[in-house]
Structure 1
Amino acid sequence: MTLTPAFLDELRARTSLSALIGKTTKLQKAGREMRGCCPFHNEKTPSFYVNDDKAFYHCFGCSAHGDAIRWMTDQRGLPFIDAVKELAQAAGLEMPAMDRQSAERAERAKGLHEAMADAATWFTEQLNGLPGAEARALLDRRGIKPETARAFGMGFAPDSRGKLKAALKDYGDAMLVESGMLIQVEGKEPYDRFRGRLMIPIRDARGRTIAFGGRIMDQGEPKYLNSPDTPLFDKGRTLYNLDQAAPASRKAGRVLVVEGYMDVIALAQAGIAEAVAPLGTALTEAQLERLWRMVDVPILCFDGDSAGQKAALRAAHRALPMLSPGKSLAFVTLPPGQDPDDLVKAGGRPAMEALLKATEPLVDRLWSSEYAAEALDTPEQRAGLKQRLMELASTIADQSVRVEYERDFRRRLDQQFAPQRRPFVPFQKRSGPWKPPIAPITQDTKEFHASGIDRVLAKAILAGLIRHPTEIARHMEVLGSLRLIDGAFGRLFEAVIDVALEDQALDSVRLRTILAKSGFDSIASDLMRADTMPYTFTQEAGDPDRSRADLDEAISIMIAAPEVSAALAMIDREEATVCADAFERQVALVREKQALEDRLANLCQANEDARAFGSEGN
């Protein structure tokens, strides 16, 4: 069968889009268009418009956009060909003729769908009749209400090898074997696959039964038995409860992925209808793709035991190559030994919602898993952690996302293992029996501060401010001292401050361009040579957050050093070191001076560490 552009255009032309959408979404006239609240996201003010003349809908809130076919696939969850068939039937259009093989497959699928629907009906009748007393008691013990069982089409398969076969005999053994309802063993008569089990129908996106899951009534293995793969059912591409969760997820703006049928059913009974489950397999690429068609960040709520958390991690690794901008996963960690069914039984919907408010991003789950994988006491073990993280990031196909993951992992490694510096506290604010005197800011004091500044460190700070001009406004306390430095360096600093204060959104490139036009090209270029400055904030590449933090530290050291030197000089001038109190003050100042020197050396070491991390990652 070939669907030509002409046929699809005719189909769109014959379909009243507002009538189609109006079946499920309330629309009101708004000029030449219809308007309503968007069915794809929660909103109180209508921003969803339908234009019949142009045959498309558009939401100005979430950017949902499409035609009648897109509405059927996105809002109804139908496969493309099924959407076209349903619209064509409503419009009175004949579908293009199928080739012989396609027609045979369609006819066989039609018969299988009917057989599965009749099987679901028969199982429900058994549950509600005399044979289903034990199954109804099981549902009651599990806290499943009758109305919930009806909503999910639950049933019961009697412990018999031939009752279902007899009930569906009109379909013939061959079709029932193909549908997975009978088991065929060579040389023997086919017999019922499901016996003595609580039956849970598995439906496709259109709500048609395509398979079953059967739970054993008492003890035994397997606890759950699923239909085999059939022409209707591919367990690696199917999500349980997709037909009901898809519309619910559009209203809630989220979709939850849990481990099993009963978790889905328990959550729905508690009022959380947007949950689905894989069918006895690890989450597959096809299932992830289907989830991302529903929401950008599905939430995985696997069991709190070891097996559940391993399953969540497997899903995380499988999703990595498929990540794209905006598309990711989030995780909820359930209490140890509990699943969503246990959680809502104990605490109702509020207990689950409380966990859903604190989801863990995919990058956090990967980091915490690798960080806890082994001890990190030696350089080799820490290098192993970095290698594992970078290997995970390298599997991401999208380059922009991969770069962000690599940058995030390096930042975390740097924060975790880089040398830690104690925060600076201005000297005069520290507690203790003595504080250096705070002299009035006279001309002599200003001159002393200017002459007492470490000019090498000051040049590095100026280079850092040129690299990060937005930091200038945060450090005005040092500007007065640096302005007093004579020569070309002082004039350059004045020019930098004047330009930056005129435009506080100035970036480094524009600042250097203005400086070059003002005659500071040569001195600024010499100052910005990274190989002459051993600090992170003077380097062109590197982590911006780390560079700004190191710049803060350097400025703090530059402010404090002249104060310590001034206090020491004052003690020397007064020749009071013979006094015990003065001697103690002098010792404290010497220690403070040494501490400042250590902190400055620490900044240089931090730059070496950052370079080492960068070179390993390249």
Structure 2
Amino acid sequence: MSDLTHFLEQLSTRINISDIIKGDVKLTRKNTNQYIGLCPFHKEKSGSFNVTDGKNLYHCFGCGASGNMFGYLEKKRGLTFIEALHYLADQVGMKVPERDTYTKTPEQKKAADRSYEILENTCIWMQENLQKSIGENARLYLEKRNISLAMQKQFRIGYVPEGYHNLIDLFKSKYTIEELLKVGLVSQGDGHKKPIDRFRGRLMFPIFDRQNKVIAFGGRALGDVSPKYINSSDTPTFSKSHILYGHNFASKELSNEFGFIVVEGYLDVISLHQHGFKTAVAPLGTALTDFHCKLLWRHRVPPLLCFDGDAAGYKAAVRSAKKSLIYASPDHRLNFVFLPKDEDPDSLVQKDRQHFSEMLTKFKPLSDVIWNSLIEDIPIKTPEDQAALRKEVSLLVSQIQNEDTKLSYKEYFQNKLFTYFRSLGQVSFKKNNYKKHDSDSKMMPLMVKKNKDDVFQKILLATLVYHPHLINQVTDEMLHINFNDELSDLSDWLLGYEGDKTKYALLDAAYHEGLKKRILMVISDDVLQKAPFLKQKDAENVLLGWKEVYNQLEYLLKLDEEVRQAGQLLKNDMTEQNWTRIKELQTIKLRSRENNE
């Protein structure tokens, strides 16, 4: 029996498939080993998704999806078999057998063991250097950065002295130059230049794999030397695009409350761990890669990207946002934390841990970061600028692989574009602004021609009568509307309607419920004339029209409330300032209504 086969058997006895699926699906126990719930792979109203512990299998009688724990993690979270293996092992504190034992020949395994030995011995030597007299400046630097001895020990921080052949001379009787070159500890220029140590006069940070083996190093210069940081080059044991610094420690600290915190550098990671934020990790001198994103998404809590509060940090965040957008989905989210100007995670957490903790709760979602970057990059002064912004939005959205997410982003950006252009005074809502065959109608929501509040309410309800399939998409907005007395019963009935989502089926059901009078009220010719988008067949355009009416109604109601509050304030305190304020609000409200007549 191979090491992997034995490990899989042991793993299956320590973890139940229901424990994995419960994070995504609300399961109800059927009997001792069986659960049932709503299928996460298709929409359904009654549970047909069965989960069986013991056998560690799932099966949906609705869509036919079935498999074991590994299949579930692959289908639901996009993990490979190896990624799922490590994820499950982490849940129960098991250590996955070294891949070498089941993927490499004996000769390859021997060579890999030799590389790990060289790297481990080098790490020990660097740690010893830090404690000697030659490491005094490095120790003073760590003291200045308030890195505790416990953290120095945990992360195995070390030091290499100045000199071109310290490491080569140390190991010359034990390892060949070729072996040192292979693991990235020695550099050699073109031609027949003499090999030299890659790291010289630097504070050293070992880089670990999941099994805590040293696989590479990063070095920070202590003086005015460029570059400030250098890393090992890619080797058979190390690929910087596949490794996150600190991941070996952080992955063991994940919970249902805390996901990964992604920062920029070694000391940011170490400082956050020291202050209790033990899920911090960092890419190794490179932008966040596709593999990094997949690694972060193994955990169900979305990661937080928290880069430095300077221009470079902001650019890194935007670059990561745009790069990851292609994978955006309900299971693949990224959130971003933007620190105060000129602060980084290390500096802020040391000044005020509570403030840093609060900043982590004030994150921005991926969509907001991308939108904000777009309107900063493309100044809008001309119609051509508008077209350029639309084009950039369209290109970004087209990359998204998940179709549901792509549709949601398209709608999100369309609403953003509409509101943004309107705020710049570049979108008109005057009468006859709507054109049935306008080529831009799919991008720009269509506004009504008149705007008494009850007319707005009738238009919203009429839209759902003509297009019942939209009801589930606007439920949240409907619940926020305080419909007037003669329309509230129809609104309540529409929200509870579960029949066939066609206009005629809904009308038939409504008439049987005694709502014919209300229906005729909201689909009158007068209402339909004021909302031309209602009769369109394009569901996307109809939804955008509905949401624009909703937004306008919400805006007017807020204005009404502000006018009421200003009136109360004037009543209590008859000052010129309060009188001016109420006149300003009334003027704004009047103009807003006139713009849609």
Q: What is the TM-score when the length of structure 2 is the normalising length?
A: 0.67
Q: In structure 1, what is the equivalent of residue 41 of structure 2? A: none
* Distance verdict in 2 for CA 1:85–1:199, change over 3 Å: closer
Of 238, 242, 245, the match for 1:240: 245
Give the root-mean-square deviation of aligned CA atoms: 4.5
1:34-433 to 2 correspondences below 5 Å: 54=55, 73-74=86-87, 76=89, 83-85=96-98, 102-169=105-172, 170-185=174-189, 186-250=191-255, 252-347=257-352, 349-418=353-422
2:228 corresponds to which letter in structure 1?
A: K
Distance 1:530 1:395 in 2: 42
- The aligned amino acid for 1:476 is N
Task: Report if the CA contact (8 A) 1:296-1:326 is conserved.
Answer: no
Q: Separation in 2 of the partners of 1:553 and 1:141?
A: 54
Q: CA deviation at 1:358?
A: 0.3
Q: What percent identity do the matched residue pairs reach?
A: 30
Query: How far apart are the structure 2 equivalents of 1:321 and 1:529?
Result: 45
Amino acid aligned to 1:388: E
Alpha carbons of 1:353 and 1:499: their partners in 2 closer, same or farther (altered >3 Å)? closer
Distance in 2 of aligned mates of 1:134 and 1:346: 24
| 1:514 alignment partner AA | A
TM-score, normalised relative to structure 1: 0.65
Q: Which residue identity is paired with 2:596?
A: L
With over 3 angstroms needed to count, the CA separation of the structure-2 counterparts of 1:83 and 1:392, relative to structure 1, is same
How far residue 181 of structure 1 moved from its aligned partner, in angstroms, is 0.9
Is the 1:157–1:195 Cα contact (8 Å) retained in structure 2?
yes
CA distance in 2, matches of 1:498, 1:214: 69
Give 1:291 deviation, angstroms.
1.0
Specify the SS of the correspondent of 1:390: helix
Show the counterpart of 2:497: 506
* Aligned residues between the structures: 468
Q: Which amino acid aligns with 2:461?
A: L
Q: Secondary structure at the match of 1:331?
A: strand
> How many Å apart are 1:503 and its aligned residue?
7.1
Equivalent position of 1:483 in the other structure: none
TM-fit CA distance, 1:243: 0.2
State the partner residue of 2:484: 476
CA distance in 1: counterparts of 2:151 and 2:158, whole angstroms:
12
Compared with structure 1, are the counterparts of its residues 19 and 330 closer, same or farther at alpha carbon in structure 2 (3 Å cutoff)?
Answer: closer
Does the C-alpha gap of structure 1 residues 107 and 392 become closer, same or farther in structure 2, counting only changes over 3 Å? same
Q: 1:156 is paired with a residue of what secondary structure?
A: strand
How far is the alpha carbon of 1:331 from its aligned partner? 0.8
After superposition, what is the alpha-carbon deviation per residue over 1:225-278, rounded to whole angstroms, capped at 9, x for unaligned? 111111011111111111011112336521111111111111111111111111
Q: Distance in 1 between matches of 2:488 and 2:255?
A: 52
How far off is 1:183 after superposition?
1.8
SS in 1 for 2:218: strand
- Distance in 2 (CA, whole Å) between partners of 1:159 and 1:288 is 37
C-alpha deviation, 1:351, in angstroms: 2.2
Match of 1:542, SS state, is helix
The aligned residue for residue 548 of structure 1 is 550
TM-superposition CA deviations, 1:5-34 (whole Å, max 9, x none): xx966654466834999xxxxxxxxx989x
Distance 2:269 2:167 in 1: 27
| More helix by percentage | 1
- 1:241·1:277 contact (CA, 8 Å) conserved in 2? yes
Counterpart secondary structure, 2:240: coil
Per-residue deviation, residues 54-100 of structure 1 (Å, max 9, x unmatched): 4799xxxxxx956998885115569xxx82558x9xxxxxx66x77x
Q: Which residue of 2 aligns with 1:603?
A: 596
- Give per-residue Cα distances to partners, 1:562-607, cap 9 Å, x unaligned: xxxxxxxxxxxxxxxxxxxxxxxxxxxxxx9xx98x8776436xxx
Q: Secondary structure at the match of 1:225?
A: strand
Verify the 8 A CA contact 2:163 2:200 in the aligned structure 1: yes
Counterpart pick for 1:533 among 529, 536, 539: 529
| Structure 1 position 527, deviation (Å) | 4.8
How far did 1:168 drift?
2.5
Change in Cα spacing, 1:20 to 1:372, as seen in structure 2 (3 Å) is closer
In structure 2, the CA distance between the partners of 1:395 and 1:52, relative to structure 1 (3 Å rule), is: closer
- CA distance in 2: counterparts of 1:314 and 1:226, whole angstroms: 21
SS of 2:241's equivalent?
A: coil
Change (3 A) 1:458 1:258: closer
Q: Which is greater in Rg? A: 1
Structure 1 SS opposite 2:235: coil
Question: 2:295 is paired with a residue of what secondary structure?
Answer: helix
CA distance in 2, matches of 1:175, 1:520: 85
Separation in 1, partners of 2:346, 2:453:
62
Residues 464 and 341 (structure 1), Cα distance of their counterparts in 2 relative to 1, 3 Å cut = closer
Letter in structure 2 aligned against 1:128: Q
**Distance apart, 1:497 and its partner CA:** 8.3
Partner of 2:329: helix, strand, or coil?
coil
Partner in structure 2 of residue 26 of structure 1: none
Deviation by residue 1:312-371 (Cα, 9 ceiling, x = unmatched) = 111111001111223121111111112111112222x21211110100111111111112
- SS of the equivalent of 1:164 reads helix
The whole-number CA distance in structure 1 between the counterparts of 2:525 and 2:4 is 64
Cα deviation, residue 411, structure 1: 1.4
Q: 2:87 corresponds to which letter in structure 1?
A: D
* Structure 1 Cα separation of the partners of residues 124 and 53 of structure 2: 40
Distance 1:553 1:299, change over 3 A: closer
Contact kept in structure 1, 2:126 and 2:204, CA below 8 Å: yes
- Judged with a 3 Å threshold, the aligned counterparts in structure 2 of structure 1 residues 411 and 161 are, in CA distance, closer, same or farther, namely same
For 2:169 and 2:556, the matched residues in 1 are separated by: 86
User: Deviation per CA, 1:169-226, whole angstroms, max 9, x where unpaired?
Assistant: 3122211111111123443442221111111101111111100011112111111111
C-alpha separation between the residues in 2 aligned to 1:157 and 1:457?
74
